[in-house]
């Protein structure tokens, strides 16, 4: 019953919630997939205590990528970014948990890997901005928009995580 109510609210509020039900969009980019980093990235999010509610491997279309990166459309690197992101498979994910948007961004590291600390995904696995392995929503509003672009509501699973009481007070 609780999942049904939450699903109804998810439809109303575009899938990004607050508190322990906040959601974010994370995507392993083609270079991360080709370098076989998907399992390591999922492991880091799971060990942090976040709850996976959506996962799929996709070959992103140009139209999806242009909508996703709409705010960057006037940047000189935009066309190259679209070509790169459509050059191979992307692992699209939705993670849920307390402050997941902010925490995920910290886990990813800076957009420029040279500015990323060791221990972050980009700090550990990346050398160049143009091949920085992973994308994560930068705000709750961005997460709402990105989740709705990459996932239909029925693709997001509402399930009870039995370890939740060991993660949250």
- Could you identify the residue written with the tokens 């039995």? 162
- Is 51 a residue of the active site? no
**Range list of β-strands (E), 59-156:** 90-96, 134-136
- For residue 152 the two structure tokens come to 């239909």
- For residue 43 the two structure tokens come to 């492991």
Rounded to whole angstroms, the Cα distance separating 85 from 63 reads 12
Contact 48, 98 (CB under 8 A): no
| Residue 29 counted as an annotated binding residue | yes
Beta bridge partners of 128: 131
| Residue 122 counted as an annotated binding residue | yes
| Residue 132 counted as an annotated binding residue | yes
> Which one of the listed residues 34, 68, 135, 165 is annotated catalytic?
135
- For residue 153 the two structure tokens come to 């509501």
| Residue 111 counted as an annotated binding residue | yes
Rounded to whole angstroms, the Cα distance separating 165 from 155 reads 25
Binding-site residue positions for ATP: 29, 77, 105, 111, 122, 132
Binding-site residue positions: 29, 77, 105, 111, 122, 132
Catalytic positions are 135
């Amino acid at each position: 019953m609780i999942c049904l109510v939450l699903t109804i609210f998810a439809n109303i509020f575009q899938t990004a919630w607050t508190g322990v039900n906040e959601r974010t969009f994370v995507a392993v980019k083609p270079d991360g997939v080709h370098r076989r980093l998907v399992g390591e990235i999922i492991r880091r999010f799971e060990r942090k205590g976040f709850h996976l509610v959506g996962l799929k491997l996709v070959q992103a279309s140009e139209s999806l990528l242009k909508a996703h990166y709409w705010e960057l459309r006037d940047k000189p690197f935009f066309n190259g970014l679209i070509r790169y992101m459509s050059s191979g498979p992307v692992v699209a994910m939705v993670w849920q948990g307390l402050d997941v948007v902010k925490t995920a961004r910290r886990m990813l590291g800076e957009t420029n890997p040279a500015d990323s600390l060791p221990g972050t995904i980009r700090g550990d696995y990346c050398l160049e901005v143009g091949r920085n392995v992973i994308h994560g929503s930068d705000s709750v509003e961005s997460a709402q928009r990105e989740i709705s672009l990459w996932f239909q509501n029925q693709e997001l699973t509402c399930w009870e995580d039995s370890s939740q009481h060991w993660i949250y007070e």
